């Protein structure tokens, strides 16, 4: 049964049902991805019933949560027409730096976390300044950071992991609240905040405007440079959060952590409907894309596919997503 509400002019308009409100949150792309995910779950259950065991599902959702946080951050840069290739290296750097602060400098956990996030903020700021002030494409400056961060990791660790992290820190990546892994709860908070920012705030509308047409946005009075800088900061800070959670989960700062993460994060974004041209897509699509990637990776493990094939499979998925994105763009022209 539908109820009605009065319009300003006095006419009565039917209120949306709960199902209609739910459908309003998703676009056709996200519905298709959800159907594919359901199909993968059924396939995994048929091939290996352990795929749907609670223990494996907790691993799947924990891995997906980390990917979703990183992908949401990258999604901000892609929305502006940019890109962040440094995600994987920042994940590794943040994990190592947080461990370095705690074990070498003997700093408390809370201060180590704050310093790591502040370092991420500074890196994102310098990305944004190079893009806005020197007009350098995000691809180039983040490519430089990808190499610099990996080099810094090796200098700090001599290619050896930093072990012995305190229990209070490792709980972040290993413990549960009401049966839900803490990383999943963190991802939910990040997704809700990002969703609200992009959908319901003036800043979010400006970010979409910058990605849609940067010149038109500038002529409309949008602070283009500030919005681009903000997006690059969000990307690096999100990657830093993922790096610290991974270090907490492994109980060490590993120099190889985060390798290849940029491929996974970008693939999740494009799968979820974020256009490489900027100005299109949203957080829900990114999360669903991350869930699809996480499910696919877990399924490949459960059916004993050689790990060397995993990147090939993900790369082919990315190729398919990019092809669909470009075809959709051409159809609209």
Q: Give the pLDDT of residue 16.
A: 60
Write down the pLDDT at residue 147.
96
Q: What is the spatial distance between Cα 323 and Cα 246, in angstroms, rounded to a whole number?
A: 32
Residue 2's SS3 state is coil
Q: DSSP string spanning 284-298?
A: HHHHHHHHHHHHHHH
Each residue's pLDDT, cut to its tens digit, for the chain (333 residues) gives 444 444 445 455 556 665 555 455 556 778 888 899 999 999 999 999 999 999 999 999 999 999 999 999 999 999 999 999 999 999 999 999 999 999 999 999 999 999 999 999 999 999 999 999 999 999 999 999 999 999 999 999 999 999 999 999 999 999 999 889 999 999 999 999 999 999 999 999 999 999 999 999 999 899 999 999 999 999 999 999 999 999 999 999 999 999 989 999 999 999 988 988 888 889 999 999 999 999 999 999 998 888 888 889 988 988 888 887 777 767 665
| CB atoms near residue 183 (< 10 Å) | 27
Rounded to an integer, what distance in angstroms lies between the CA atom of residue 128 and that of residue 141?
A: 9
Concatenate the DSSP letters of all residues of 181-202 into one string. Answer: EHHHHHHHHHHHHHHHHHHHSH
pLDDT digits (tens, 9 = 90+) for 178-194: 889 999 999 999 999 99
Structure tokens at 41: 């779950």
- Would you state the structure tokens that stand for residue 241, as one six-digit string? 């959060």
Phi-psi region of 169 (alpha: psi -120 to 50; beta: other; left: phi over 0): alpha
Q: Report the Cα–Cα distance between both ends of the chain, in Å, rounded.
A: 41
In the block, which residue shows the tokens 């609670």? 54
Separation of alpha carbons 205 and 222, rounded Å: 10
Size of the chain in residues? 333
How many whole angstroms separate alpha carbon 60 and alpha carbon 82? 29
Provide the pLDDT for residue 8.
47
Rounded to an integer, what distance in angstroms lies between the CA atom of residue 172 and that of residue 140? Answer: 34
CB count within 10 Å of CB 218 equals 14
Res 21: pLDDT: 54
Question: What are the boundaries of each domain within the chain?
Answer: 51-332
Cα-only R_g, the chain: 21
Res 17: pLDDT? 62
Say if residues 212 and 278 touch (Cβ distance below 8 Å).
yes
What is the pLDDT, as a whole number, of residue 265?
95
pLDDT of residue 311: 86
Q: What is the pLDDT of residue 166?
A: 96
Q: In angstroms, rounded to a whole number, what is the distance separating the alpha carbons of residues 160 and 308?
A: 24
Q: State residue 273's pLDDT score.
A: 87
Q: What is the pLDDT of residues 209-268, one digit of tens each?
A: 999 999 999 998 999 999 999 999 999 999 999 999 999 999 999 999 999 899 999 999
Instruction: Check residue 5 and give its pLDDT.
Output: 47
Structural fold of domain 51-332? ABC transporter involved in vitamin B12 uptake, BtuC (1.10.3470)
- Cβ within 8 Å of residue 9, ≥6 positions away: none
- CA–CA separation, 259 and 89 (whole Å): 7
pLDDT at 258: 93
Q: Residue written as tokens 């290739």?
A: 85
Compute the distance between CA of residue 127 and CA of residue 145 in angstroms, rounded to an integer: 9
Q: Cα–chain-centroid distance for residue 257?
A: 16
Residue 1: predicted pLDDT: 43
3-state secondary structure 220-238: CCCCHHHHHHHHHHHHHHH
């Amino acid at each position: 049964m539908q109820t009605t509400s009065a319009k300003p002019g006095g006419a009565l308009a039917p209120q949306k049902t709960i199902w209609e409100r739910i459908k309003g949150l998703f676009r056709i792309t996200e519905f298709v991805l959800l159907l594919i995910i359901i199909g993968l779950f059924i396939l995994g259950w048929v091939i290996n019933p352990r795929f749907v065991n609670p223990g494996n599902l907790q691993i799947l959702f924990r891995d997906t949560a980390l990917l979703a946080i990183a992908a949401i951050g990258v999604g901000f840069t892609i929305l502006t027409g940019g890109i962040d290739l440094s995600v994987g290296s920042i994940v590794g750097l943040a994990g190592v730096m947080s461990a370095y602060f705690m074990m070498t400098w003997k700093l408390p956990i809370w201060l180590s976390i704050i310093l790591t996030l502040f370092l991420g903020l500074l890196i994102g700021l310098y990305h944004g300044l190079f893009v806005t002030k020197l007009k350098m494409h995000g691809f180039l400056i983040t490519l430089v950071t990808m190499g610099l961060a990996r080099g810094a990791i090796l200098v700090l660790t001599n290619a050896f992991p930093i072990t012995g992290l305190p229990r209070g820190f490792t709980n972040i990546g290993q413990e549960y609240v009401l049966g839900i892994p803490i990383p999943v709860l963190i991802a939910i908070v990040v997704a809700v905040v990002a969703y609200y920012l992009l959908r319901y705030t003036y800043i979010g509308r400006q970010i979409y405007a910058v990605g849609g047409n940067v010149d038109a946005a500038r002529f409309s009075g949008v602070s283009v440079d500030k919005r681009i800088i903000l997006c690059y900061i969000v990307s690096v800070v999100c990657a830093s959060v993922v790096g610290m959670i991974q270090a907490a989960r492994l109980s060490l700062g590993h120099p190889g952590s985060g390798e290849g993460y940029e491929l996974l994060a970008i693939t999740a974004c494009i799968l979820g409907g974020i256009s490489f041209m900027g100005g299109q897509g949203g957080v829900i699509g990114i999360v669903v894309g991350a869930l699809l990637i996480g499910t696919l990776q877990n399924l490949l493990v459960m059916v004993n596919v050689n790990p060397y094939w995993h990147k090939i499979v993900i790369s082919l998925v990315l190729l398919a997503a990019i092809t669909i994105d470009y075809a959709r763009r051409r159809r609209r022209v």
